[in-house]
Amino acid sequence: MNRLFLLLGLAGLLLAAGCRKDDLVDCAPASNPSSLTDFTRRNGVPVQTFSLALGSTAQVVQTFTTSGGARISFPSAGFLLPNGTAATGPAEVRIREIYSVPDMVLSNMPTQLLGSRRLLISGGEFSIQVWQNGVRLRLASGPARVVVASPVPTGASAGQQSLWQQRATLVRDSAGWEPPTSPPTPTTNDTIRTVGSPPIYQTYIPLDSISWWNIDRLWSLYQTAPVGTVTVQVPTIPAGGTGSTQVFLRVVGLNGLARLYPTNAARTSWSTSLPTGASMKVAVLQSINNQIYFGTQTLTTQNGLTVTPPLTAMSEADAVQLIRQL
C-alpha cells in the first residue's frame, strides 16, 4: 500500500539510537534554532513508502508507481541483512525523488561533481532504501536488480545520460556526485535508455550503502565556454546572533543546480566556477535569529562577476512559494 509521510512520528524513537543522514529525512531537532537544516526537513521532498514481500528463493518482481510518475521494480529475493543472511517476510521500501530545481533547493540537493564541483544537468535524483524491523537491507550482487523507469523532467539534457552516486559516508557540506565506485558486472541493459512516448529513462540501480542516485549529464557548456569565477555577497550574521546561509545558482531553462561555498571567515562571500556566458539565477536563503530571508537575481556568468542580491524578510511559507517559482 502506497502512503506518503515524513517520518515525523519516528523522531522521538530515534533520539536514543541516533540516525544517519542517508537513512532518514527526519532526525533529532537541530541544535541551532536558526539552522536551515530544519527548513530542509520540513520542506524537502517527502518519503514515500511501499510494502514489499521478500522471499528466500522464488523471484517475483514487484513494481510500485511513485507520486512523481516513476515505476520502480524490486526483486523479492536477494535482499540481505547486515550479517549477510537472506531477508524474508514483509519489508518497507522508502523512496524520495527529485525532478525539478525548486525541489533541489528545498531538499538541499544540488547537482555537482564531487571534487571539481562541475555542474550536472539532472534527469532525476533518487533515494531508494529497503528496511525491515528497523534495519536497512542491501541487495546482493548478481542478476537481481532494482529497475527504475522514470519520467524525463523538463530541462534535462539531450543525449546519453549517466548514473551517478552520492555516498552516505560523505559530509553533507562537501557532498557531490561521482560515478559508481563498484558498478555491477556490465550487461547490455546497464546503459540508461530513453524509451516510450512520452519518453522515460530506464536504468538499473544497485542498492547498498549509497545515499542517493542521479541520472545526469555533464553540462555541455563546459565543452565550448571558458570557466570563470562568480561571487555572491550576502549579509553578515550579526555578532551574538544565530543563523545559517545557503547560496545556489540555477541554469535558466536547464534542470541543474550549483551550490556556492563561503570564501571568507565571515561567510559573506560565496563563490563557484562556472562556464561564462550562461544565463543563470542566484537564490539566497538565510536564517538569522529564526527569521527567514530570501532573494534572487538573474545574471550572465562572466569571470570575476560579483553580485549582491537584495534579501527580504518573510515567512517560511512565502519563501517556499518563491523557491517554487525559480
Section 76-100 average pLDDT: 94
Q: Supply 124's cell numbers.
A: 532525476
Q: Between the CA atoms of 43, 47, 48 and 50, what dihedral angle is there, to the nearest 10 degrees? A: -170
Angle, vertex CA 214, rays to CA 260 and CA 94, nearest 5: 110
In this predicted structure, what is the pLDDT of residue 230? 98
Section 74-100 average pLDDT: 94
Whole-angstrom Cα distance, residue 105 to residue 323? Answer: 7
DSSP state of 183: P
* pLDDT above 50 for 189: no
Whole-angstrom Cα distance, residue 230 to residue 19? Answer: 36
Each domain of the chain, given as residue ranges in start order, spans 3-218, 222-323
In this predicted structure, what is the pLDDT of residue 167? 75
User: 199: pLDDT confidence band, cut at 50, 70 and 90?
Assistant: confident
- Name the class of domain 222-323: mainly beta
Q: What is the pLDDT of residues 261-305, one digit of tens each?
A: 999 999 999 999 999 999 999 999 999 999 999 999 999 999 999
Section 16-23 average pLDDT: 39
Section 176-182 average pLDDT: 78
Report the percentage of the chain scoring pLDDT > 70: 83
Helix (H, G, I), strand (E, B) or coil at 89: strand
